A and B are shown apart, each in its own frame.
Chain A
Amino acid sequence: MLDRRQFVAGLAMLPCLPRPAAASTGLRVAALDWALAETMMALGHTPIAIVAASDWNRFVVEPRLPSGIADLGLQPEINFELLASLKPDLILTSPFVQDLEPVVQRIAETLRLSIFEKGTVPLARPRALARVLGERLGHAEAARSLLVTAEHTFDMYRERITAIAPPPVVLVNFIDARHVRVYGGAGLYQNVLDRIGLVNAWAGTTNYWGYSTVGIETLATDRDLRLIAFEPIPADTRPTLQRSPLWSRLPFVRAGHVSVLPSVLMFGAMPSALRFARLLVEHLERLPR
């Protein structure tokens, strides 16, 4: 068993951690979905091209996108001329781009991996993604070690959460000054909360994808909780809310239990799950108790 220090050290290196190039197939892979791209990168296999590369650093944030990865453009509008000229060996697709498969199959073999699945064990999909990609790309060992490290990391976070015993959390994106998207259900964030033992205070329903759009007044409660908002937050949200008695007198607002975290890819895979857990736990630990 690794101790906690080693874990923290390992965590910091996570994005570039396992590099067992020995068994690598050296395939030139294009990933048409960010979750697949980040899983690949966590396995030490850099894709040659991804979709919407220019937005990566804004929405996925970490790991920063290495230079030299070709930008295939918007997900619904992939640059096929460019993709073909890169002569990939394998193209990773997801159900969101499955309509493009007949087209990209003219360029290279495709592998479709589902990123989202409802009603399974927490984080079952990200795990499966890592395993399948590991097998296919010749990084089976790296995948195994990624998963082992991930489980250890989550276990450790779980302990740290138990230690600080934070109040339940509500995870939101502010859409404008009057609406939030609140997360729960089968989404990645909820999966992580379940895995590290944090309680989601949002009791309302969510859609198939694990979130719901509601008016901010729906968040009013006299319970103690911590509101965690992901960036970006629209500029006029804060001043508007501060002038609203409904908001400013909320017990958790008065108590200052409102946090802002950097953006985390909602439809992400294991790296995003780990990053979210890290950001969350580290943030909660930093708070005065």
Chain B
Amino acid sequence: MNVVHARHGPPVLSLGLGILALAAVTLLLARPVSHVLSGPAAPAGYDVERMILVYATLPRLAIALLCGAGLAASGAILQQVLRNPLASPTTLGIDAGARLAITMATLFTPSLLGLGRDMVALLGSAASTLLVFILVRRRGFSALSIILAGLVVSLYCGALSALLVLVKDRVLASLFIWGSGSLSQQSWEPSTALAWRLGIVALPLLFLLRPLSLLDLGDDSVRSLGLSVTRLRLTAIAIAAALSAFVTSAVGVIGFIGLVAPIIARLSGARRFGERLLWSTIIGALLLLLTDATLQILAGVSSEFVPTGAVTAVLGSPLLLLLLPRLNTAAPPTSFAPAGRGTATTLPRVPALAAVAVFVLLVTLTVLVGRSPTGAWQIVSIDQWDQVMIWRLPRIVAAAAAGALLGVAGLILQRLTNNEMASPEVLGVSAGAILAVAVSLFMFGSLAPVSESVVAAVGGVVVLAAILAFGSRSSFAPERVLLAGIALNALIDAVVGIMSATGDPRAILLLGWMSGSTGGTTAGDAAQAGMAAAVLVAVSLLAVRWLAVLPLGGPQARALGVPLARSRFLLLLLAAVLTAAATPVIGPLTFVGLMAPHIVLAMGVRQPLPALLGAAAAGAGVMAVADWLARTAAFPLQLPTGLVAAMVGAPFLMVLLNRRSTFP
């Protein structure tokens, strides 16, 4: 009985979806079609309803089907190749790479069109995909690590896009529109072009179908058939990335269809890869059609411009949350063994004294060196000291304090989850802060009546409570909490995307807030941040014993008498409070929480106490340098310190991760 059900599951489901989509389309088309049919056979002049039907509404339906199919196929392939039920163009950062590339091309080479833009999108996708794989290479491609790396890359691309919009396109802010794909059409050209591209890219899939199905049995069985697993994987990933890149190039980012459709296909009973690919594609196409048709029907009611891509993300990200319990995130221990073995044996142990000296020197330089009002480089002189330092010192202190807070938060999270890709950004607390500021900005006619920091803190706390409530069900299993944070991030990103897509000037204010500005920090603010850092880092020191034991894993920690749920809860709470304290100062996006623990590790520090102090110092140092760059690099322009930290930090992080991976 079960078997019968499973065999007919996907067709029945697709039929249901098809009927729903058909109903929505009928509702949408009823009026224009009856108008066109009842009108004169050869209408004189410009028949608006007819033209819109033929050249806007119908092509839009077609492109919805095509985009949905392309993205769903891409997701199905990725899930198969990576053996990861959460893989998709969205969660792997492929979307984000294409979007960033198109944004940059629009800004710097605006004459690019047609195939040129496709190539740009392809390059962007390829780059971001590559980045994700470089990041997780050492983690044995475990499901969680890939998703975390995907999120990091997405956040990085988003940060870069934000910086570009702020600096280059502030007045029009038109680039937001690429972030959340709109399916609006004016001719058949885009859909025919996309159909050709998707068709050509998908053609090799026919030959890969069987080898890819064999991946279900494990790499060895593929290899035993004389196929190169690596080459097979790379080819399939390239095809998946291309499918998604073409869609992004045509309409912008359509979030989560590529994740949701394959999961629905799987849950409805499509077992073999061929079935999954076929039904995913059909379900994806119908799903996007249904969403878009519904959106168009509702658009008549609301006047605001709502991009379809953002809507799919808003609907899709909670699904990620719902599906989490079904995901087996515990990677087999073997996948960790080659990565971890011998990592630390050859690492240099930097003497503590030298590290402290470098830190002090660095921070001193960031304080002393700056640009004069004319733009000349200078070391601040005694007679200017007072008037320069009332501006410079507070922002450096605040940035460094925030860096220390995030560095410690990152260390705690990485130790707690035993995952070196964990970072405060991922926790969702920052995302909650952004959402709160966004909502307050957009709800109250013009600007928030209360201070943004207060709003941000409230948002952070609410999200924290939600995460902890969610986590309590799995006794705070760190992976679950991180994944919940990822889903939350995606949801919030989509909501902010919808808010921004209208081009509302408040989106720029939001962007400014998100970018982590330290300019205008007062001595009072700095003192507050410094105090928060001192107190919270001191509190964190109380947890070093837990941080030593917990990486041994839940059972071992419990056997040693560590209260598992309580210690995880308190550490998560601590990490969240550290993050919440830092976010109003430096914004939600810096990667310093990810970076600082790796700097410490690269220096050969492993024990929790020195590592914790080191992470605080490394975070502070990185932020001080980022603040200095933000002040001086584009003078007289001041860049947002938070984004500068992300820009500079991410490549640095790649170097750190890769340097360690070269050890046998």
Determine whether A and B are in direct contact in the complex, meaning some CB atoms lie less than 8 angstroms apart: yes
Which of the candidate stretches A3-11, A124-132, A243-251, A279-287 sits at the interface with the other chain?
A243-251
Which of the candidate stretches B183-191, B466-474, B533-541 sits at the interface with the other chain?
B183-191
Q: Which residues of A contact B447 (CB under 8 A)?
A: 95-96, 98-99
B contacts with A, residue count (CB < 8 A): 65
Which of the candidate stretches A20-28, A65-73, A135-143 sits at the interface with the other chain?
A65-73
A260 on the interface (CB 8 Å rule)? no
Asked if residues B171 and A80 are in contact (CB atoms below 8 Å), the reply is: no
Known: A70-B636, A217-B185. A246 touches B51 (CB 8 A): yes
Known: A85-B373, A213-B503, A245-B55. A71 touches B636 (CB 8 A): yes
Q: Mark A36-65, 1 if CB is under 8 A from B, else 0.
A: 000000000000000010110001000000
Task: Give A152 to B54 CA distance when docked, in angstroms.
Answer: 49
Asked if residues A207 and B502 are in contact (CB atoms below 8 Å), the reply is: yes
Q: Which residues of A contact B519 (CB under 8 A)?
A: 77-80, 103
Task: Give A8 to B110 CA distance when docked, in angstroms.
Answer: 37
A84 on the interface (CB 8 Å rule)? yes
Q: Which residues of B contact A209 (CB under 8 A)?
A: 504-505
Within 8 A of B (CB), among A154-206: 173, 175-176, 178-179, 181, 204-206
A220 on the interface (CB 8 Å rule)? yes
Task: Give A77 to B390 CA distance when docked, in angstroms.
Answer: 17
A219 — nearest CB in chain B belongs to which residue? B186
B381 on the interface (CB 8 Å rule)? no
Task: Give A76 to B166 CA distance when docked, in angstroms.
Answer: 9
Asked if residues A245 and B187 are in contact (CB atoms below 8 Å), the reply is: yes
A244 — nearest CB in chain B belongs to which residue? B187
Indicate which residue in B46, B177, B631, B636 contacts A72 across the interface (CB closer than 8 Å): B636
Which of the candidate stretches B257-265, B509-517, B591-599 sits at the interface with the other chain?
B509-517
User: Nearest Cβ distance between residue B439 and chain A, in whole angstroms?
Assistant: 16
Task: Give A104 to B515 CA distance when docked, in angstroms.
Answer: 20
Asked if residues B45 and A207 are in contact (CB atoms below 8 Å), the reply is: no
Task: Give A102 to B631 CA distance when docked, in angstroms.
Answer: 20
A241 on the interface (CB 8 Å rule)? yes
Count the A-B residue pairs with Cβ separation under 8 angstroms: how many? 188
Asked if residues A84 and B387 are in contact (CB atoms below 8 Å), the reply is: yes
B304 on the interface (CB 8 Å rule)? yes
Indicate which residue in B113, B390, B520 contacts A236 across the interface (CB closer than 8 Å): B113
Which of the candidate stretches B198-206, B398-406, B637-645 sits at the interface with the other chain?
B637-645
Task: Give A76 to B171 CA distance when docked, in angstroms.
Answer: 12
Asked if residues A77 and B640 are in contact (CB atoms below 8 Å), the reply is: yes
B388 on the interface (CB 8 Å rule)? yes
Q: Which residues of B contact A85 (CB under 8 A)?
A: 373, 387
Task: Give A206 to B55 CA distance when docked, in angstroms.
Answer: 25
Task: Give A179 to B308 CA distance when docked, in angstroms.
Answer: 14
Indicate which residue in A77, A102, A266 contacts B522 across the interface (CB closer than 8 Å): A102
Task: Give A236 to B52 CA distance when docked, in angstroms.
Answer: 21
Asked if residues B446 and A95 are in contact (CB atoms below 8 Å), the reply is: yes
B448 — nearest CB in chain A belongs to which residue? A99
Indicate which residue in A72, A213, A241 contacts B186 across the interface (CB closer than 8 Å): A241
Within 8 A of A (CB), among B110-143: 110-114, 117
Instruction: Using CB atoms and an 8 Å cutoff, list the residues of chain A in contact with chain B.
Output: 52, 54-55, 59, 70-82, 84-86, 95-96, 98-100, 102-104, 106, 173, 175-176, 178-179, 181, 204-209, 211-217, 220-222, 232, 234-236, 239-241, 243-247, 249-251, 266-267
Q: List 13 A-B contacts (CB under 8 A).
A: A74-B167, A74-B638, A80-B520, A81-B388, A99-B452, A175-B503, A206-B303, A209-B505, A213-B501, A236-B113, A241-B186, A244-B187, A246-B186
Given contacts A215-B182, A216-B186, 18 further A-B contacts (CB under 8 A): A52-B170, A54-B637, A75-B512, A76-B166, A77-B517, A79-B638, A81-B388, A82-B373, A96-B505, A96-B509, A100-B520, A103-B520, A208-B445, A235-B110, A240-B186, A240-B187, A243-B187, A266-B171
Q: Which 4 A-B pairs have the closest CB atoms?
A: A76-B512, A215-B184, A236-B113, A246-B55
